[in-house]
Structure 1
Amino acid sequence: MEERTAGRLGRSLSVIGLGTWQLGADWGQVAEEDALAVLAAAVDSGVTFLDTADVYGDGRSERLIGAFLRGLGSARAGGIVVATKMGRRGPQDPAEFTLDNFRRWNDRSREFLGVETLDLVQLHCPPGAVFSSAAVYEALDALVAEKRTAAYGVSVETCAEALEAIARPHVASVQIIINPFRQKPLTEVLGAAREAGVAVIARVPLASGLLSGRYRHDTVFAPEDHRAYNRDGSSFDVGETFSGVDYDTGVEAAAEFAALAPEGATPAQTALRWVIQQPGVTTVIPGARNAGQARANSAAAALPALPEATLEAVRELYDRRIRPLVHHRW
């Protein structure tokens, strides 16, 4: 699989990675056996980048990844980059983002992942004030100096937060929602990140599954699935669920998007191909609940580039159906 890097990160990442929120919680139940099979299928398909967080299942996702890597052996596991996140297990108060807390959060993640030094740790969509705090970045620099982590980045909700972080000299990566239903980062963030040498990790690439084209107006999600309980943003930022798009509008727009898929590609693969074609994207991190989904996601990297006519059709769909709902918000 194609790999890309960015100057500040200093590591190559597979252009399609694996997001592992669903292996921890909030997407319905995923058995441990199935979770390990997803990880194996992704890595066997060429994935070298795994993204997790300390809050996913309160550490379950990190523990599963740690067990999986131990099973691979040191030689093979050494070629895989694992990014985790910190900052959402406690109060969302900027005063909580201190060096002492960072050390404590990092030590927990290092234990669960079974590593001395994290490859990459990211602030996990913290309160907006955190991004402008010089003390926060000094504390993150200390984690690198202490070899608790090799590099640090941020996961953000808004383009403004991304730009604030990119301006800091040691931020190695920015993780942000990018998909055919969330296009503002294409003009607001990608160019600035590319110029600064900051890796861009594109998350929620399928708009919580909408862009797979599998969902209907009457689809029922499990009660523990955020697509059931967070449509109003009552648990966390509503932009994380269906990219903030009204569900019924999203179903209809996704049907239009599905019609643009080229022969031999699924709508989900088309969405992933669209993301990795955007200049400045380093990697995209779709989730998968079973091994078949992981293999299908990875196969999108080998698809031919989407033609300009398709890219234009996606822009038109966004402008007509989606832009008024999301562009001004994130």
Structure 2
Amino acid sequence: MRSRPFGRTGRDVGEIGFGAWAIGAAWGRVDDGESVAALHAALDAGLDFIDTADVYGDGHSERLIARVLKERGGERPFVATKAGRRLPVQTVEGYSANNLEAWIERSLRNLGTDRLDLVQLHCPPTEAYYHPEVFERMERLTGQGKLRHYGVSVERVEEALKAIEYPGVASVQIVYNLFRQRPAELFFRQAERRGVAVIVRVPLASGLLTGKFGPDTRFEADDHRRFNRHGEAFDVGETFAGVPYETGLAAVEKLRPLVPEGATMAQLALRWILMDEAVSVVIPGARTPAQALGNLAAADLPALPAATLEAIARIYEQDIRPHVHQRW
């Protein structure tokens, strides 16, 4: 798998990583044995970037990762975590020095390390990006050696553009996929210019872009694809990329003929993301070894031809753009 520079950190990472939300919570039933096996399979195959958060299963995802890394020993992959969503209500005041330090100390324990590779502010309120003191606190924690780098995970392009004005922000994590194309218009170019790493999340639109769902697909009660379908629990853009479910299903059928021979729709979706050099790493989730290895195989696909890219652009413009483009 090809490696890409992780912004200006001086570190390179494989272009496909492991998104560890699904092994924590909010995606229906999870089997820890399968989760552990998925992580091992991915790492055995050369994966070297894992993304998690302190709220994924209330720390369960972090602890599973620590368990796997302890079992393996040797050189650790780059592990990114997040802090901030433990707040009962999202406010700028909640990102206090005391809270940030407490969250980071908890992640240090959960991940079994004395220094975190990357801590991302976890989708803080838009107003927080206009408060330099929040970023100054992260600078101080970096200076104290608790973390090597810090960044942000954002909901909106506006937030991403504001975040990279702060010179200490090493990375921005953002939703980008076949159904959420706006980040490539301006933000990606600005991130490249400033040397900021870009982590792409929700690359498969919560599974819509696997092509495996239909009108009759049923999701478990503890799966956000059921309980957050309309943004009841958190930003609706995190669920099916904010695209109405039936609209997404119809667009998937139009995309299906574009899948390269011998590949899957999920691999097409991941390879499309990797066509943009501004992307440092894309983090699809996986709950089984087969899913993890299938994701990694997308890196082996050849570049998508111009005709495929043009067809994808038309489908987005006609069917998806009106629902999502200006919202995020």
Residue 240 of structure 2 aligns with which residue?
242
Residue 48 of structure 2 aligns with which residue?
48
User: In 2, Cα distance between the equivalents of 1:284 and 1:6?
Assistant: 12
Residue 71 of structure 1 aligns with which residue?
71
Aligned ranges for residues 276-315 of structure 1 at < 5 Å?
A: 276-315=274-313
Residue 226 of structure 1 aligns with which residue?
224
Q: CA RMSD in A?
A: 0.8
Residues 230-289 of structure 1 show CA distances to partners (whole Å, capped at 9, x for unaligned) of 011010000000000000010110121122111111000000000011130010000012
1:116 Cα deviation after fit: 0.4
Q: What is the DSSP-based 3-state SS (H/G/I as helix, E as strand, rest coil) of the residue aligned with 2:255? A: helix
Find out whether 1:145 has 2:143 as its counterpart. Answer: yes
Residue 125 of structure 2 aligns with which residue?
127
Residues 56-86 of structure 1 show CA distances to partners (whole Å, capped at 9, x for unaligned) of 000000000011111111x232xx1000000
Select the residue among 155, 158, 162 that pairs with 2:156: 158
1:6 Cα deviation after fit: 3.6
Distance change >3 Å, CA 53–CA 315, structure 1 → 2:
same
Find out whether 1:176 has 2:174 as its counterpart. Answer: yes
Structure 2: which 5+ runs fail to align?
none
Select the residue among 82, 94, 97 that pairs with 2:95: 97
Q: Which runs of 4+ in 1 moved over 4 A?
A: none
Does the 8 Å contact 2:205/2:239 carry over to 1? yes
Q: What is the DSSP-based 3-state SS (H/G/I as helix, E as strand, rest coil) of the residue aligned with 1:23? A: coil
TM-score, length of structure 1 as denominator length: 0.98
1:188 Cα deviation after fit: 2.2
Select the residue among 95, 98, 116 that pairs with 2:114: 116
User: In 2, Cα distance between the equivalents of 1:218 and 1:7?
Assistant: 42
Does the 8 Å contact 1:231/1:238 carry over to 2? yes
User: In 2, Cα distance between the equivalents of 1:236 and 1:35?
Assistant: 24
Aligned ranges for residues 8-27 of structure 1 at < 5 Å?
A: 8-27=8-27
User: In 2, Cα distance between the equivalents of 1:259 and 1:166?
Assistant: 38
Residues 166-210 of structure 1 show CA distances to partners (whole Å, capped at 9, x for unaligned) of 111010000000100000001121000000000000000000000
1:218 Cα deviation after fit: 1.1
Structure 1: which 5+ runs fail to align?
none
Give the counterpart letter for 1:76 in structure 2: E
User: In 2, Cα distance between the equivalents of 1:146 and 1:6?
Assistant: 22
Residue 208 of structure 2 aligns with which residue?
210
User: In 2, Cα distance between the equivalents of 1:283 and 1:134?
Assistant: 27
User: In 2, Cα distance between the equivalents of 1:191 and 1:253?
Assistant: 27
How many residue pairs match? The answer is 327
Q: What is the DSSP-based 3-state SS (H/G/I as helix, E as strand, rest coil) of the residue aligned with 1:54? A: coil
Does the 8 Å contact 1:7/1:198 carry over to 2? yes
User: In 2, Cα distance between the equivalents of 1:189 and 1:46?
Assistant: 29
Does the 8 Å contact 1:54/1:84 carry over to 2? yes
Does the 8 Å contact 1:212/1:258 carry over to 2? no
Does the 8 Å contact 1:42/1:295 carry over to 2? yes
User: In 1, Cα distance between the equivalents of 2:7 and 2:246?
Assistant: 41
User: In 2, Cα distance between the equivalents of 1:124 and 1:9?
Assistant: 20
Q: What is the DSSP-based 3-state SS (H/G/I as helix, E as strand, rest coil) of the residue aligned with 2:148? A: coil
User: In 1, Cα distance between the equivalents of 2:230 and 2:55?
Assistant: 21
Residue 4 of structure 2 aligns with which residue?
4
Does the 8 Å contact 1:154/1:175 carry over to 2? yes
